[in-house]
Amino acid sequence: MSQTTTTPLGRGADAGTTQRIQLAVLAEPEQVWHALTDGATTPAYYYGFAADYGDLSEGGGYRYTAGGGDVITGRVLRAEPSRRLQVTFNGTWSPDVAVLPESRVTFTLAAPSMPMPGVTVLTCEHEGLPDTPAAAQLEHGWVTILSGLKTLLETGRPMVAAPA
């Protein structure tokens, strides 16, 4: 499920777009957390990007790299293993993304509302985006990335091969 809304960000009269993607994954929260934060796992579902969250300390930097360079950078705002990861987001993989303002991404892992042993509901909220075509394309990216994570955890295989 994917949803985009325009919401106030708490910075005066500024408003931004929030993208919200939610899906159920047949995996335990610890497995989903590992897939989100492990640099050896992320290239299999995240366009070949390798995550480096360091020690996941609040205020610490993180980055995703591809082809020897940074493609996403930011700071860890909150890290609760197997429950919630909130980070700032600065994408640099293309010029139209690089001009977007710093935004915030929150991953929340929760049990489904009905009893479903072994299932984790993964929610991704990307807040503070302008209402531009480049920002709108990020939502398509998140849907593909999170679907890839789901496929990897449920089948043990990537949804598609990582780009060369």
Question: Is residue 51 one of the residues assigned to a domain?
Answer: yes
Block residue for tokens 């985009």: 4
Residue with tokens 């929340």: 108
The yes-or-no verdict on residue 163 having pLDDT over 80 is no
Question: Is 11 a member of any domain?
Answer: no
Concatenated DSSP letters for 37-93? H-TTTGGGTTTTPEEE-TT--TT-EEEEEETTEEEEEEEEEEEETTTEEEEEEEE-S
Residue-wise pLDDT for 60-102, tens only, equals 999 999 999 999 999 999 999 999 999 999 999 999 999 999 9
Residue whose tokens read 């996941």: 56
pLDDT tens digits, 97-140: 999 999 999 999 999 999 999 999 999 999 999 999 999 999 99
Would you say residue 121 lies in a domain? no
| 39 in a structural domain | yes
| Length reported for the chain | 164
Residue 97: CATH number of its domain = 3.30.530.20
pLDDT, mean over the chain: 91
Q: Are 82 and 109 in contact (CB under 8 A)?
A: yes
Which run of H or of E encompasses 125? strand 120-129
Residue whose structure tokens are 């897939």: 35
- Tell me how far apart the terminal alpha carbons of the chain are, to the nearest angstrom: 29
